[in-house]
Structure 1
Amino acid sequence: MPPDAARRSDRSRLAVLTAALELVEELGYAKLTVEAVAARAGVGKQTIYRWWPTKGTLLFDAFVELRAAGRDVRPRGELGDDLKLELREAIAELVERRFDQVCRMLVHEARTDLVTLLLTPRRVVLEQRLAEAGRAGEIRSDVDVPTAAELLLGPVYQRWLLRTGPLTGAFSDTVVDLTLRALRA
């Protein structure tokens, strides 16, 4: 029986996405080449160009597709602890070389639409948790939830983008504590 072409394509696609993330972490965006990705993935360059017109689109797809698979839903705890955990995870993601390389490349290319797509899942989780807190009376009922989520994430993303100081858990915990003072009933 001949090999299933669809299965082979899925296997090749996953190999290319994985190779792209590994190589951007090892080499950085500037030194990453489609030739290197093809060699590591065991596919031809033409296969990559058939699916992705640029290394930027390849990295974007790799990051979105492979990162999305690892996101867990966890039980809820105390509001401050949940928010601190989420911001600490945001920081861990931002300082991860592959994320940093992909996002900085997208920012450099003025692809804020793609940066927004990469950052949206984190904001959505915060909005959901804050909405639950509003229904439970943990924060004021008049809180604008999307704005409150941006109030939490904004300082973290600004510090990452502008490199104005270290991205640490202590920093993000302070952001949560200050924000909750403003949001609590």
Structure 2
Amino acid sequence: MSSRRVPETARSRRRTHSAILDATLELVHEVGYPKLTIEGVAARAGVGKQTIYRWWPSKAAILRDAVVCLTEDIARTGIAIPDTGDLEADLKAVLRSTVDIMIHPGYDAPARALAAVGIADPELGEELAVHLVEPTLHLCLERLGSAQRIGQIAPDIDTRIAVEMLAGPLARRWLLRDAPLTHEYVDALVDIALHGLAPR
């Protein structure tokens, strides 16, 4: 008698996929990235290694997807930067939300591990920039572009540099942990940046 293989349902695939991502995040917290293994993730998720390799080529690729999903969950993806007409308030709102993600207890360990891997692996680092950094930068760029069109910031300002000037200090504090990353800090960043960006 020949056995017939029952195809996976979409729901089953989603459950398995989520279980693998959750297991990866749990293990990074427990053992750290250097000791993270595909075997360990498979055992924690209750799947075979071949299932993991069907979707991801490496533990770094799994962690990338896990952190992207985690970030979207924390940020409640789909909420755009506000455009109330008050540029200062709008920038503070989006940067405060960014800080809330960065200091979230579930985000820190896996994101730091991924940042370290991204430095050693340029291709992964580029993917991280696309999936984790660029979406927020793009929202800020759109908002600054709107402000520039109505004369709230100087017309000759490179808005990409302006956004990087706001985002860079957040990344530095998060990476070095040499000072608190707070709402008050991002409010001060926006105040200083806008003073420098004001039409002359």
Residue of 94, 102, 108 corresponding to 1:86: 94
Residues of 2 paired with 1:130 and 1:4: CA distance? 49
Residues of 1 paired with 2:60 and 2:68: CA distance? 12
Once the two structures are superposed, the pairs formed by residues 16-55 of structure 1 within 5 Å of their partners are 16-25=20-29, 28-55=32-59
Deviation per residue, 1:121-172 (Å, 9 max, x gap): 1111111111111112221111111111001111111111222211111111
Once the two structures are superposed, the pairs formed by residues 125-144 of structure 1 within 5 Å of their partners are 125-144=139-158
**Does 2:186 match 1:172?**
yes
Aligned to 1:156: 170
Normalising to structure 1: TM-score of the pair? Answer: 0.84
Residues of 2 paired with 1:25 and 1:124: CA distance? 30
Q: Between Structure 1 and Structure 2, how many residues are aligned? A: 184
Aligned to 1:107: 115
Aligned to 2:133: 119
Deviation per residue, 1:21-76 (Å, 9 max, x gap): 34434554345443443344332222113322222110101222453463132442
One-letter amino acid of the counterpart of residue 76, structure 1: D
**Does 2:184 match 1:184?**
no
Residues of 1 paired with 2:190 and 2:90: CA distance? 10
Going from structure 1 to structure 2, the CA distance change for 1:91 and 1:12 (only over 3 Å counts) comes to same
Contact persistence 2:67–2:111 (CA under 8 A) = no
- Computed over aligned residues only, the root mean square deviation of the Cα atoms, in angstroms, reads 2.4
Gaps of 5+ in 1: none
Secondary structure of the structure 2 residue equivalent to 1:5? coil
Pairwise CA distance, 1:4: 4.9
One-letter amino acid of the counterpart of residue 182, structure 1: G
Aligned to 1:5: 8
One-letter amino acid of the counterpart of residue 119, structure 1: V
Pairwise CA distance, 1:87: 1.3
Residues of 2 paired with 1:61 and 1:170: CA distance? 31
Going from structure 1 to structure 2, the CA distance change for 1:114 and 1:97 (only over 3 Å counts) comes to farther
One-letter amino acid of the counterpart of residue 61, structure 1: D
Residues of 1 paired with 2:172 and 2:72: CA distance? 23
Residues of 2 paired with 1:3 and 1:67: CA distance? 34
Going from structure 1 to structure 2, the CA distance change for 1:43 and 1:121 (only over 3 Å counts) comes to same
Gaps of 5+ in 2: none
Contact persistence 1:25–1:97 (CA under 8 A) = no
Secondary structure of the structure 1 residue equivalent to 2:156? coil
Residues of 2 paired with 1:102 and 1:115: CA distance? 13
Residue of 69, 77, 88 corresponding to 1:71: 77
Identity of aligned residues (%): 41
Going from structure 1 to structure 2, the CA distance change for 1:55 and 1:98 (only over 3 Å counts) comes to farther
